[in-house]
Structure 1
Amino acid sequence: MSESTVPDGHVEKVGGFDIRNFIGLLIGIYGLVLTVMGLFFFDEAARAKTADLNANLWTGLAMLAFGALFVLWARLRPIRIVVKENEPGAEERRDIAPTD
């Protein structure tokens, strides 16, 4: 029995609907915004608040790396589900509503 076949079914990857893709993308977008803010809008007032540390830049870079790790994790270790055929009669329409 191989990894892609199981008795009475087969294995598929969930791919685009994996929550790790959404989390990685969202963290990556926030990281990109912070990186841009750190690169282009770091002025003397911000420098005084953070004791000469460009907090937006470093936090943005860390968030970009963290988001990339989430997406990489989803690509390297995808969630797999077993898909089986319906049992006989499962697709037949049945009226289960109560009759009055």
Structure 2
Amino acid sequence: MTQQQPQSPAKRSRRIHGAGAFDIRNVIGALLGIYGVVLLISYFLLSPGTDMTTGQAKDASYNLWTGLALALAAIVFFIWTKVDPIKIVEPAPGEAVQAQERA
């Protein structure tokens, strides 16, 4: 049987938390998602127009496929954030002062 060592007061006062909304993956995922939704909306609501050379209607499926790809990339970024969150360890107040004195 192993006994656990008592933790020092400095280790107990450390605070570990996640980056949350400030994680860059959340920002990138939100931007990609917004652009993807805008492209999907434009595919469904806007008329593609006509080609000036042939007089036929243009194919606007690039908005659909690009919008879907951006939305999928946004979902991947959000899942990545949930699966592997960034942990931030804040040192104890006394620890930070000691580290500055040594430098």
Asked if Structure 1 and Structure 2 have the same fold, meaning a TM-score greater than 0.5 normalized by the shorter chain, the answer is yes
For 2:93, what is the secondary structure of its paired residue? coil
- 2:84 is aligned with what amino acid? R
- 2:73 is aligned with what amino acid? F
Gaps of 5+ in 1: 2-6, 91-100
Count of aligned residue pairs for this structure pair = 82
Equivalent position of 2:24 in the other structure: 19
Matches within 5 A, 1:1-100: 8=11, 9-45=14-50, 48=58, 52=59, 54-87=61-94, 90=97
- Alignment TM-score, normalising by the size of structure 1: 0.68
What is the RMSD computed on CA atoms of the aligned residues? 2.5
Q: Is the 8 A contact 1:42 1:54 kept in 2?
A: no
Q: Greater share of helix residues, 1 or 2?
A: 2
Q: Sequence identity, in percent?
A: 36
- Alignment TM-score, normalising by the size of structure 2: 0.66
Cα deviations by residue, 1:39-95 (Å, 9 ceiling, x for unpaired): 2224352753xxx4600011001101101111111122110011221117x4xxxxx
- Which runs of 4 or more aligned residues in structure 1 lie more than 3 Å from their structure 2 counterparts after TM superposition? none
For 1:74, what is the secondary structure of its paired residue? helix
